[in-house]
Amino acid sequence: MQHHSNRHWRLLPAGVKACGSQNRFSRSILWLLLFLPLITQGQFKLTGVVLDSLDRKPMPGTNVVIEKQLIGTVTDADGRFEIGSSSESAVVTFSFLGYLTLNRTIHSTKQDTVQLSVDPAMLTTLRDHYLKTRVDLGYYGDKNHAPLGVIMNVALQSAGQASIQLSASAKYWKQNANTGLDVSVGKDLSFKYLPHSVFIGYKSIQYRDAPFELKQTRGLFSYRLPFFFSVDLGAAWNDVQKDGHSPLTRQRLLTGTIGLAKVFTYFSPVRNLGLSASVNYNPHWMSWQAGAYKPMSIGKTIHLVLMAQYYQFDTQKGLLVSLRIPILDTRYYCCYSWAVNSANVNAMK
């Protein structure tokens, strides 16, 4: 029995080549090479929305560019963008006339909200004046001596015809006969080469179980350095009473103050972490403190700031801890500058 194959074969005379088949194969390879870059570029979609950090309104027409991949687009009427990428995440450049250019890593797994800040050179030309306020309220206490207390932080910032950069902090803690009070005010200055900010504070500690008492008035000038470092220089007047068997030994003395602060920005692995340390020195008496703060978020609605400080006033030691949440927040106008960090840094001084 003969079996016939379903395939049909065509016999060609000797010397005749199957040119049609080869031409079709060559054309297929050519089209594949031409469209391969387009296919790879659209492999992942990066999406999000661009907002004005002043009024939180969408910014249509914002340039959105992935420079390493030579791909670009603009935001639509609602400020939204969608751009193809050959990788799952990419550094995207956002730019708009009159605003600071921002480079931001965007991931394909989520939609990002990007805020552009007005170029500081343009702030005084704004027709409208914007005042931004944030008020934090929370827990504050000395772990060893007076663990029950409260803290309030207030930050005022503006953009427009006048510049206002002001922060204030008030702390009170108590347990039994032990009490503590600390109030301070910090003001950013507009000088180019002189100190960038000034700080004034008053502290009163009365620990009867130690026993130890301190009344301290301090004043500081802050100088901001590259990479979000700052140096504090100033002085403090100290009224100290400590255990001298009876009555308490009292000292009144002036100390020189030096401090150092470092803020890790949004783009660092430990984003928004702040560190601070300061020393008050006199040949007859010395105090120092060091600590850290970390803003955190739980979901999209709960925001809080954790803070811890270790201190040593002469022989008196302790640990101050704080947890606060914003009860009023109208947003900061500048997202990646000292303006948004001053209030947290000043709360640690």
User: In the Cβ-directed half-sphere of 73, how many Cα atoms lie within 13 Å?
Assistant: 17
On whether the CB atoms of residues 288 and 278 are closer than 8 A, the answer is yes
Residue 82, strand partner residues: 47
Structure tokens at 331: 């947003």
Residues 19 and 55: beta-carbon distance below 8 Å: no
Q: Taking the CA of residue 292 as centre, how many other CA atoms within 13 Å lie in the half-sphere pointing to its CB?
A: 7
CA distance 189 to 163: 9
> pLDDT tens per residue, the chain (349 residues)?
444 444 433 434 444 444 455 555 556 555 555 554 544 455 889 999 998 877 778 999 999 999 888 889 999 999 999 999 888 999 999 999 888 899 999 998 888 889 888 777 676 666 666 778 889 999 999 998 999 999 999 998 876 656 678 999 999 999 999 999 999 999 988 776 788 899 999 999 999 888 899 999 999 999 989 888 999 999 999 999 887 555 668 889 999 999 999 998 766 778 789 999 999 999 989 999 999 999 888 876 788 999 999 999 988 899 999 999 999 887 665 555 676 688 899 999 8
Q: Are strands 212-225 and 229-242 parallel, antiparallel or unpaired?
A: antiparallel
State the pLDDT at residue 249: 81
pTM: 0.69
Q: Are 136 and 326 in contact (CB under 8 A)?
A: yes
The answer to whether 174 and 348 are in contact (CB under 8 A) is no
Query: Three-class SS of residue 21?
Result: helix
> How far apart are alpha carbons 13 and 263 in whole angstroms?
82
Residue 303: predicted pLDDT: 85
Measured CA to CA, the distance from residue 172 to residue 183 in angstroms comes to 9
Residue type, 232: D
What's the confidence (pLDDT) of residue 3?
44
Q: What span, in angstroms and rounded, lies between the C-alpha atoms of 26 and 32?
A: 10
What string of DSSP letters covers 28-52?
A: HHHHHHHHHHHHHHTSEEEEEEEEE
How is residue 75 written in tokens? 């935001």
- Domains located in the chain, CATH noted: 44-116 (2.60.40.1120), 130-346 (2.40.160)
Name the pairing type of β-strands 44-52 and 112-116. Answer: parallel
